């Protein structure tokens, strides 16, 4: 049985004297009846797929609707030629989030994390950091366990699908997972991980799912940037010792409550939010949707 | 809820786990149930699959699955061309299927020398699917675990024959469901097992009286 709360997982960590990622891996092994090696190998596959998928980005490819595709290349060019407001590292994070979002829209290979629409957040944070700071690969794979473990708690208490809980459940969860994961990479313990995830989730609470023409393109691709930048900000706060005044489990419960109250037009129906604007409607009409 | 690799994963071709990865899985499971690549496939899309399928590559993913491609196959975007090369004819139409899940596809598969098969399935999110109709009979299975699908005549003794054959092969039954169209008519047994069923056990089942068709779905094998 996977962890129903962060509290439960943290108790396990304390009792057995193990880090959060290990507690997640042990539960995976119990749940699926596989070996530790087998589980690790599968997670390594996810990591390697993220690296390959990011490198497979083609800056001249556009989605079938024509709305997205070139954004990653544009951000790269801007970073190389100008001085980004957010600094060089953050500009790389943003470019990578855009690249993965565009890859997804252009029918290239991605790792759903936790969903296809939010596939850019985790690699934008983790792969960019890995390449910038030459961290051992094992640490990154441990970080993926952290991300998956947090995602599983969110799934157990709330949801991960935009159709169920709005974009807070997709990009919001992806951002919370990435925030916790990068804290692990920087040596944060399970308390720091929990605080980072809680703060990332709170910052994106209430985010609606409003895809123009029902496609995973607008505003989804750019929201991956929002999720990645937010994850790093939340992680930095947590690493600075700033705590979430609301415990993570209660934040997740609040997110579910907000999602339940969210009108159906704001839950992946392509009706409300930016999908419902005159410009959004015009796109839908042009595409015959 | 699924395991951690449902949270981090699947590795898939975008843009949508329900409309692309799930659609590819539906095509693939249809092919597995049919037992071969169809020569001709007619695909009907319902609900959201019909409304936003084109922008999500649902059509390409379904055809890719019928061609035996997994949800992470790089050829999904060009599956129509692959179908042409491999001589698989297909048509895709929108259809309103009463009471069906919003992400539903119906597939009719034809090939010379084998009975035509009609399957209806829907995509439940996260790339996971449910098969809900087989040749007009209501069923309910996901194909995520080892699954044995048996078509038989609805008459006494058939369930015992199947369980006896599985017991002989030392296969443990995890779940078992039986469906039929009418009393004494066509029945479907859906048996989920803990082990992969060896070829001999399947041949043994096929030889039994009253058993029409036997199909084993191995979640780790493509064919």
Separation of alpha carbons A284 and B1, rounded Å: 33
Cα–Cα nearest to A255, from A154, A161, A147? A154
Percent of chain A with pLDDT over 90: 94
Answer yes or no: is pLDDT of A144 > 80.
Answer: yes
A77 Rama class: left (phi>0) / alpha (psi -120 to 50) / beta: alpha
* Residue contact A148–B8, C-beta within 8 A: yes
Where does A134-217 have alpha helices with state H?
137-157, 162-165, 167, 173-185, 190-203
Separation of alpha carbons B75 and A48, rounded Å: 20
Examine residue B87 and state whether it is found in any structural domain, yes or no. Answer: yes
Q: Which of residues 136-175 of A touch B (CB under 8 A)?
A: 144-145, 147-149, 151-152, 155-156, 160-161, 163
Same-domain status, B31 and B64: yes
Q: Judge contact between A254 and A273, C-beta under 8 A.
A: no
Same-domain status, B29 and B84: yes
Q: Judge contact between A251 and A169, C-beta under 8 A.
A: no
Q: What is the CATH number for B74?
A: 3.30.1330.90
Same-domain status, B131 and B155: no
**What's the pLDDT score for residue A112?**
96
| pLDDT tens for each residue of A211-255 | 999 999 999 999 999 999 999 999 999 999 999 999 999 999 999
Which site among A1, A36, A154, A216 would you substitute to test the B interface, given the most B Cβ atoms closer than 10 Å to its Cβ?
Answer: A216
Which site among B1, B5, B6, B8 would you substitute to test the A interface, given the most A Cβ atoms closer than 10 Å to its Cβ?
Answer: B8
Same-domain status, B85 and B128: yes
Cα angle value A55/A109/A117 (rounded, 5°): 105
Please enumerate in sequence order all residues whose Cβ is within 8 A of that of A18, keeping only pairs 6 or more positions apart, or say none.
A12, A26
Note whether A41 contacts B: Cβ–Cβ < 8 A: no
Separation of alpha carbons B63 and B50, rounded Å: 15
**Helix, strand, coil percent values for chain A (each to nearest 5):** 70, 0, 30
Residue carrying structure tokens 């409300």: A272
**Boundary-marking domain end, from B92, B107, B135:** B135
- Measured N-to-C along each axis, helices A173-185 and A220-239 cross at an angle, to the nearest 10 degrees, of 40
Same-domain status, B118 and B210: no
SS3 assignment, position A79: helix
DSSP 8-class letter at A109: E
Answer yes or no: is pLDDT of A64 > 90.
Answer: no
* Residue contact A217–B15, C-beta within 8 A: yes
Residues of B in contact with A121 (CB under 8 A): none
Q: How many domains does chain B have?
A: 2
Q: Nearest-CA residue of chain B relative to A21?
A: B4
The whole domain housing B124 covers: 4-135
Examine residue B141 and state whether it is found in any structural domain, yes or no. Answer: no
Mean pLDDT value of segment A138-147: 98
Which site among B2, B9, B13, B14 would you substitute to test the A interface, given the most A Cβ atoms closer than 10 Å to its Cβ?
Answer: B14
Separation of alpha carbons A209 and A220, rounded Å: 8
Note whether B33 contacts A: Cβ–Cβ < 8 A: no
Complex confidence, ipTM: 0.94
SS3 assignment, position A25: helix
Pairing of strands B40-47, B146-153: unpaired
Going from the C-alpha of B170 to that of each of A17, B163, B165, B173, B214, the distances in angstroms are 41, 10, 9, 10, 18
Q: Judge contact between A122 and A141, C-beta under 8 A.
A: no
| pLDDT tens for each residue of A24-61 | 999 999 998 899 999 999 999 999 999 999 999 999 99
Note whether B20 contacts A: Cβ–Cβ < 8 A: yes
Same-domain status, B84 and B49: yes
* Residue contact B15–A117, C-beta within 8 A: yes
Q: Which of residues 119-138 of A touch B (CB under 8 A)?
A: 119, 122
Note whether B15 contacts A: Cβ–Cβ < 8 A: yes
What pTM, to 2 d.p., does this model score? 0.91
Separation of alpha carbons A49 and B2, rounded Å: 21
Q: Which of A2, A104, A161 is closest, CB to CB, to B15?
A: A104
Same-domain status, B29 and B127: yes
- All residue ranges of chain B with pLDDT < 50 are 223
Residues of A in contact with B60 (CB under 8 A): 107
The helix (H) or strand (E) run that includes residue A80 is: helix A71-81
Same-domain status, B16 and B115: yes
Residues of A in contact with B76 (CB under 8 A): 107
Q: What is the DSSP string of chain B?
A: ---HHHHS--EEESS-IIIIIHHHHHHHHHHHHHTS--SEEEEEEEEHHHHHHHHHTHHHHHHHHHTT--TT-TTGGGHHHHHHHTT-EEEEEE---TT--SEEEEEEEEETTEEEEEEEEEEEETTEEEEEEETTEEEEE--SSEEEEEEEES-TTHHHHHHHHHHHTTPPEEEEEEEESSTTSEEEEEEEESSPPPHHHHHHHHTSTTEEEEEEE-TT---
The helix (H) or strand (E) run that includes residue A28 is: helix A20-32
Tell me, rounded to whole angstroms, the distance of Cα B176 from its chain centroid: 17
Same-domain status, B184 and B107: no
Examine residue B34 and state whether it is found in any structural domain, yes or no. Answer: yes
Same-domain status, B172 and B212: yes
Q: What is the CA radius of gyration of chain A?
A: 18
**What's the pLDDT score for residue A26?**
97
Separation of alpha carbons B131 and A67, rounded Å: 34
Separation of alpha carbons A78 and B12, rounded Å: 30
* Residue contact B54–A112, C-beta within 8 A: no
| pLDDT tens for each residue of B29-50 | 999 999 999 999 999 999 989 9
**Boundary-marking domain end, from B114, B135, B156:** B135
Half-sphere exposure of B192 (CA within 13 A, CB side): 10
**What's the pLDDT score for residue A68?**
97
Examine residue B185 and state whether it is found in any structural domain, yes or no. Answer: yes
Q: Judge contact between A147 and A71, C-beta under 8 A.
A: no
SS3 assignment, position A146: helix
Separation of alpha carbons B53 and B60, rounded Å: 9
| pLDDT tens for each residue of A120-135 | 999 999 999 999 999 9
Examine residue B89 and state whether it is found in any structural domain, yes or no. Answer: yes
* Residue contact B8–A163, C-beta within 8 A: no
Same-domain status, B52 and B124: yes
Q: What is the CATH number for B156?
A: 3.30.70.260
* Residue contact B17–A24, C-beta within 8 A: no
Going from the C-alpha of A181 to that of each of A16, A121, A178, B170, the distances in angstroms are 21, 11, 5, 44
Examine residue B191 and state whether it is found in any structural domain, yes or no. Answer: yes
SS3 assignment, position A232: helix
Same-domain status, B30 and B58: yes
């Amino acid at each position: 049985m996977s962890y129903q709360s962060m509290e439960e997982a943290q108790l396990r960590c304390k009792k057995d004297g193990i880090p959060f990622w290990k507690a997640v891996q042990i539960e995976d092994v119990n749940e699926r009846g596989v070996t530790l090696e087998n589980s690790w190998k599968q997670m390594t596959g996810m990591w390697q797929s993220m690296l390959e998928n990011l490198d497979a980005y083609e800056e001249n490819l556009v989605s079938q609707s024509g709305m997205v595709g070139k954004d990653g290349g544009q951000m790269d060019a801007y970073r190389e030629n100008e001085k980004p407001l957010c600094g060089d590292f953050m500009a790389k994070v943003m470019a990578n989030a855009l690249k993965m979002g565009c890859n997804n829209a252009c029918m290239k290979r991605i790792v759903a994390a936790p969903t296809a629409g939010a596939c850019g957040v985790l690699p934008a944070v983790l792969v960019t950091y890995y390449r910038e700071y030459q961290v051992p690969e094992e640490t990154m794979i441990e970080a993926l366990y952290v991300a998956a473990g947090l995602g599983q708690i969110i799934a157990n208490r709330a949801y991960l699908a935009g159709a169920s809980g709005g974009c807070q459940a997709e990009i919001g969860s992806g951002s919370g997972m990435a925030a916790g994961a990068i804290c692990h990479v920087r040596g944060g313990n399970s308390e720091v991980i929990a605080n980072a995830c809680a703060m990332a989730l709170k910052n994106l609470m209430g985010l609606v799912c409003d895809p123009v023409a029902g496609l995973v393109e607008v505003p989804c691709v750019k929201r991956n940037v929002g999720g990645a930048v937010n994850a790093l900000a939340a992680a930095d706060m947590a690493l600075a010792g700033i705590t979430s005044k609301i415990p993570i489990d209660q934040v997740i419960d609040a997110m579910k409550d907000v999602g339940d109250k969210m009108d159906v037009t704001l839950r992946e129906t392509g009706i409300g939010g930016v999908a419902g604007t005159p410009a959004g409607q015009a796109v839908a009409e042009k595409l015959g949707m | 809820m699924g395991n951690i690799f449902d949270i981090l994963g699947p590795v898939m071709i975008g843009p949508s786990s329900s409309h692309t990865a799930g659609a590819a899985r539906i095509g693939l499971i249809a092919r597995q149930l049919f037992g071969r690549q169809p020569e001709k496939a007619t695909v009907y899309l319902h609900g959201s699959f019909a409304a936003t399928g084109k922008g999500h590559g649902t059509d390409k993913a379904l055809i890719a699955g019928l061609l035996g491609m997994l949800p992470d196959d790089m050829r999904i975007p060009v599956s129509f061309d692959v179908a042409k090369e491999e001589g698989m004819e297909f048509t895709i139409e929108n259809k309103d299927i009463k009471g069906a899940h919003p992400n539903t596809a119906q597939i009719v598969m034809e090939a010379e020398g084998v009975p035509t098969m009609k399957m209806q399935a829907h995509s439940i999110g996260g790339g996971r699917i449910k098969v809900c109709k087989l040749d007009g009979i209501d069923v309910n299975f996901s194909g995520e675990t080892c699954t044995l699908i048996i078509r038989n005549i609805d008459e006494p003794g058939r369930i015992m024959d199947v369980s006896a054959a599985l017991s002989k092969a030392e296969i443990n039954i995890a779940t078992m469901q039986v469906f039929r169209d009418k009393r004494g008519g066509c029945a479907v047994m859906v048996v989920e097992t803990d082990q992969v069923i060896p070829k001999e056990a399947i041949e043994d089942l096929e030889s039994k009286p009253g058993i029409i068709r036997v199909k084993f779905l191995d979640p780790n094998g493509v064919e």
